[in-house]
Amino acid sequence: MSTPLPMEDHSQAYFAWKKAGLGQCWCWHVDAHLDIGRDGLDEAALTALEPALEVLPDLTGNAYVPWGGLNCGNYLYAAIRHGLVNRLSWVIPPDLPQGKLLPWARTHLNGWLDLTVEESVGLCDAGGYIEGTLLGIPFQLGTAERLPTPDQPVLLDIDLDYFLDLRGQVWQEPDAAFPDSLYTTVAYSVLGGYTPTAERRLAAPWTQDWAEGYQASGLDQAAQALRHKEYRQGMQHLEGLEGIDAEYLRGSCLHHLGRFEEALQSWQRLMPQLPPQGQAYLAGLASELLSTRLHQPQQALEYAQLGLLQREDYRLHFAAAVALEQLEQLRQATQMLRRGLRLAEGTVIALQMRLLLARLYRKQGKDGLAKIELAQLERDDLGGDLLLFSRLR
């Protein structure tokens, strides 16, 4: 067993595993977050990242925004794609699931990955924990008490925010037994606002130097307030702070406070300063906000199209099609949606896209084409999630 490696940002685990020459390992991910998102890691970024053994500024983002390369929210995606991890168990805090475990897991995981229909349907309750596959590898999700103990040493990948409940209070001291470890990483995650500075002490079982290192800034406090849905407090922490990260958090707080025009203005100020991935991400947020909250479909369409100039993304195609439908440009909406469907084929979001496509055909008086799409939807909808809606329409 190696000496536990503490780190400020959890994405450093990716480089630590590579530098140690590890591969095809079972990762036991003890964390309040799955860290398997795709945002920030397109194919070009993954290709450039694969040979890197050290943190490089051009390849990594940060803990405050979801674009810019490898970060604490997507490093497991890269680790799986690059063969470092070939089996994943996510050990969750007991208060994280909302409602019954299986429906929550399907919804929550789809928020991280845009699951394929097969992945979503393949998830099952194995007796108080979830089993299935993600990205083609075996996957489990559950509390430490429910998950079966691994029969081999694992990559023990711990984030201190695991020991905090949804209010940010310690629910368990880190004295529980963990599986035998092939390699142990411990992320403080004070950077990014996941763990309060005072709770660095939770790393004491693995390192005696827990008090030394990064101390939370106003930006971290704002990010923490946002995560705990304390949006006014988040705005207070952001007062006087400038820069891309602060502006992104400010726009997010304003959005959650229902101050939609101000949120849009914040993102508009920010967009010209961003790389293409960041522009595409914010364009998607702006388009959704304009369609659903501000009821300005023409501007929503313009932002979706702006995002598509930066990155081909089926979510942006979907946003553009929604705006075009609101503008009664049904033929153009249909064309946009069909392009997006080709990219999204096989995913859960593709079911929603196909349902919208059937509605667009019906509005154009093309009932035959609408029926074809609904029939395809029923074949694709293996879990029956949209079956009722498709029959009603």
Q: What strand order describes the sheet that includes 181-187?
A: 5-7, 181-187, 154-159, 25-30, 85-91, 137-142, 130-134, 124-125
As beta bridge partners, residue 158 has 30, 186
> How much is the pLDDT for 183?
97
> How much is the pLDDT for 357?
97
Query: What pTM was computed for the model?
Result: 0.95
313-329, pLDDT tens digit by residue? 999 999 999 999 999 99
Q: 328, 273, 335: which is closest to 305 by C-alpha? A: 335
- Distance between CA atoms of residues 383 and 227, nearest Å: 31
Report, as ranges of residue numbers, the positions in the chain whose pLDDT lies below 70.
1, 385-393
Q: Which class for 378: exposed (0-12), middle (13-18), buried (19 or more C-beta within 10 A)?
A: middle
Dihedral angle, C-alpha 323, 328, 334, 337, nearest 10 °: 10
Dihedral angle, C-alpha 172, 178, 182, 186, nearest 10 °: 0
Residue with tokens 């590579």: 18
